[in-house]
Structure 1
Amino acid sequence: MSTLSYAGSAIDDSGLLSVMETAAIDAGRVIMEIYAGDFDVLLKGDNSPVTQADKAAEAVILAALRGATPNIPVVAEEEISEGRIPGHLGDRFYLVDPLDGTREFIGRNGDFTVNIALIDCGMPVLGVVYAPARRMLFSGGPDGAREAEVDTEGRPGPYCRIAARACPDRMIAVASRSHRTVETDDYLAGFDIAECVSVGSSLKFCLVARGEADIYPRFGRTMEWDTAAGDAVLRAAGGGTWTTEGTPLVYGKRKQPDGCDFANPFFIARGKWSPAQG
């Protein structure tokens, strides 16, 4: 198990994953308090919606991560949207989406999550996805992937191991509830798909990670904070995420040809599979 050094002391991956889980649950509590009442919806510069829940949850997460590991930079969606972009990231940094699925939050359908991931040399090595409306927590790291229900006091447990399954001949697909594209449908037409389930946020990765689905294609715009936590859980569960060229999805992409830092290419997330399988 690796150890992270900071401020004269150290924390191992298990301890850091616990910090990330607690931060996600605490952020989820703030989100649900706002969800229960009236809230304003604003538009950011890219015309994506944002609410006070996004910003309040991010503040909770940033305080927790910077308090525990002040030497690890944090790339957080709302800070980035306000122009607060970290300089040199180094090999290890966090990616945070405090409220993934803001449209689902606004629509009050429960399909929204808190996403926190640790990136190491371009790979998502630790990840936490928390769905506060469902009180379901998913996390993954070097010791595998697990899930737990969170009680009304914010305590998770008992934990259950989860694992992606080998892709069967007839697959179950998951696709975006709010961002499904013609390209997605065309891609899935090349497979024997028994069912296609529409789900919001990073829960799509979690369904593949727990063996309830087999493939999640995304032919639409995503940012690294949208995918890193779910991708980490899926990789810990034995699956993975690849570009359409068959290379593993990497993180920390800056100075890209289109000029957009941290933007993802189109990708395919799958259970136990390799690109050589087609």
Structure 2
Amino acid sequence: MSEINDEALLQIAKDAALEAGEAIMQLYDDGDFESYQKDDESPVTSADYKANEIITDRLKALTPDIPILSEETKHANLHERRTWQRYWLIDPIDGTQEFIARSGDFAVNIALIENNQPKIGVIFWPPGQTLYYALSGHGAFKDSPGDSGPISVRKLDDPDNSVVILAISRRQPRERVVSKLCAKRVYQTLPLGSCSLKSCFIAEGKADAFMRLGVTGEWDTGASQCIVSEAGGAIYAADFEPLSYNQRNTLENPDFIVLGDQSVPWRDIIQY
């Protein structure tokens, strides 16, 4: 089989996300799904498993030589994973709690990680029929009914003083996050569900910053990091160290921050 180029890999990821999203919405609209609890007490549903099956089946068929790491399948150990030059990184439904709560704030995440960094990022928001995607070095884009094209982070008129918009979790205590993220600035808040949707809203200029405290996995940030970076923003660990992919025994992320306009003095503002 000849080598598949990056543009073709991006299209494969987009098609897989759209197909999974269609199946998710059918189960969501019908209410025809079961909810379970994982060993770590986080929720999972039959819709997560169905989306995972659709995505992994498509990727295995079209890119059989690229390994797959998904939240909802058994994870290879680091000894095996460190031999992977590139691999697919998947969260079939980011925001399972929001799916169960019927808030509409959930998304399909697919990333291609190459040499330990996100190369391709695809995030599909099924209820909004909106697809966000990026290929490293080629910019970030959005496909949505009546609103498609390149996206970029919001540029503040006065980076040192302008009011910033914080994407805030519907589920986490906002006082703790705000005290760390923006205690020194005047701010507005925008409540949202999944981590990836908050990141996409920053990438398209609807919010400026987001901090996630607590347990997440590398699949929660891989696609987002590619999209946000290509839109002119950045994702870091909350202490401003780079996030790592496929380099540790654990696949858990540290607390992390997603930041828009890079001319804002975020290091002076954030008190982590």
TM class, shorter-chain normalised? 0.7 to 0.9
Q: Does 1:20 align with 2:13?
A: yes
Question: Which residue identity does 2:98 align to in structure 1?
Answer: E
* Secondary structure in structure 1 of the residue aligned to 2:4: strand
**2:150 matches 1:161:** yes
Alpha-carbon separation, structure 1, partners of 2:170 and 2:226: 21
RMSD of the alignment, in Å? 2.0
What whole-Å deviation, never above 9, does each CA across 1:48-90 have from its counterpart, x for those lacking one?
Answer: 111110000001100111122111111101103xx66683342
1:191 Cα deviation (Å)?
A: 3.3
Q: CA deviation at 1:177?
A: 1.8
Partner residue in 2 for 1:154: none
Distance 1:214 1:275 in 2: 10
Gaps of 5+ in 2: 268-272
1:252 counterpart = 2:246: yes
Aligned-partner SS, 2:65: coil
Give the structure 2 partner of residue 144 of structure 1: 139
Structure 2 residue identity aligned to 1:166: K
CA contact (8 A) 2:105 2:197 kept: yes
TM-score, normalised to structure 1, is 0.86
Q: Write the distance in 2 (CA, Å) between the matches of 1:122 and 1:275.
A: 27
**Is 2:112–2:120's contact at 8 Å kept on the other side of the alignment?**
yes
Change in CA separation of 1:180 and 1:93 when aligned onto 2, cut-off 3 Å: farther
Q: CA separation in 2, counterparts of 1:244 and 1:36?
A: 37
2:190 is aligned with what amino acid? Answer: V
1:186 aligns with 2:179: yes
Q: Report the residue type matching 1:131 in the other structure.
A: W
Deviation (angstroms), 1:158:
7.4
Distance 1:276 1:172 in 2: 15
Secondary structure, aligned partner of 2:21: helix
Shift of 1:40: 1.6
1:66 to 53, 60, 64: 60
C-alpha separation between the residues in 1 aligned to 2:95 and 2:59?
A: 22
Which position in structure 2 is the counterpart of 1:228?
A: 222
- The aligned amino acid for 2:153 is A
State the distance in 2 between where 1:74 and 1:193 align.
43
Deviates more, 1:171-180 or 1:210-219: 171-180
Are the equivalent residues in 2 in contact too, given 1:75–1:85 (CA < 8 A)? no
- Work out whether 1:263 is the aligned partner of 2:252: yes
Aligned position for 1:5: none
Q: Counterpart in 1 of 2:189? A: 196
The two structures have a TM-score, normalised by structure 2, of 0.88
Query: Per-residue displacement from partner, 1:220-278 (whole Å, max 9, x unpaired)?
Result: 211111121112111111111012232222211422xxxxx211011111013179752
Amino acid corresponding to residue 255 of structure 2 in structure 1: F
Match of 1:125 in 2: 119
Query: How many Å separate the matches in 2 of 1:220 and 1:164?
Result: 25
Gap regions ≥5 residues in structure 1: 1-7, 151-156, 256-260
Identity percentage of aligned residues? 38
Task: Give SS of 2:73's match.
Answer: helix
How many positions carry a matched residue from both structures? Answer: 258
**How does 1:202-221 map onto structure 2 within 5 Å?**
202-221=196-215
* Separation of aligned partners in 1, 2:116 and 2:76: 21
